[in-house]
């Protein structure tokens, strides 16, 4: 692997770690963030159950984000070691796609019912799920082809 490819992977891993740290901070600030949204943003519905529901949504999305970031970090680590077309990468990509799809499934209805900006987050997460799923399918086929070539000698 070329030097600039190693650097690119290292920088990307650093960014993934920084995003994970930002997610930790957001989790710690979850109740304050929900209070801010409730006080300063126009919500489609109000009531005593909205704040706990938003907080629960935030923590569920955080769990998906942490799982996605963990799988992405491990995926990048394998790429840095030169392990490209291996079953573990296919599994990681599938998990990343499922995390994005889960976030979309949580955010889209919340955006329609409670707070419109969540629709955009959900749409972005859904689109990312589709893109990663296509890449996962391509990796799975490449793994199969590699395994067949390894047996053909």
- Predicted confidence (pLDDT) per residue in 46-66, tens digit: 899 999 999 999 999 999 999
Average pLDDT estimate for 105-129: 96
Mean of pLDDT over the chain: 95
pLDDT confidence of residue 1: 73
Q: Which pTM does this prediction carry? A: 0.92
pLDDT at residue 2 above 90? no
Distance linking the first and last C-alpha atoms of the chain = 25
Q: What is the dihedral of CA 22, 27, 31, 33, to 10 degrees?
A: 30
Question: d(Cα 127, Cα 100) in Å, to the nearest integer?
Answer: 8
Q: How confident is the model at residue 153 (pLDDT cuts 50, 70, 90)?
A: low
pLDDT class for 150, splitting at 50, 70, 90? confident
pLDDT band at 36 (very low <50, low <70, confident <90, very high): very high
- The pLDDT-based confidence of 152 (bands split at 50, 70, 90) is confident
For the chain, give the percent of residues with pLDDT over 90.
Answer: 92
């Amino acid at each position: 692997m070329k030097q600039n490819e190693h650097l690119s992977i290292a920088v990307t891993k650093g960014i993934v770690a920084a995003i994970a740290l930002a997610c930790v901070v957001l989790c710690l600030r979850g109740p304050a963030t929900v209070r801010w949204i409730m006080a300063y943003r126009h919500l489609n519905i109000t009531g005593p159950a909205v704040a706990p529901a938003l907080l629960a949504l935030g923590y569920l999305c955080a769990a998906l984000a942490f799982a996605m970031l963990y799988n992405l970090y491990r995926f990048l680590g394998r790429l840095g070691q030169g392990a490209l077309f291996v079953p573990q990468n296919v599994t990681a990509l599938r998990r990343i796609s499922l995390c994005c799809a889960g976030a979309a499934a949580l955010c889209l209805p919340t955006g329609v019912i409670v707070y419109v900006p969540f629709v955009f987050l959900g749409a972005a997460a859904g689109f990312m799920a589709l893109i990663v799923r296509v890449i996962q399918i391509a990796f799975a086929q490449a793994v199969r082809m590699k395994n067949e070539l390894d047996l053909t000698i």
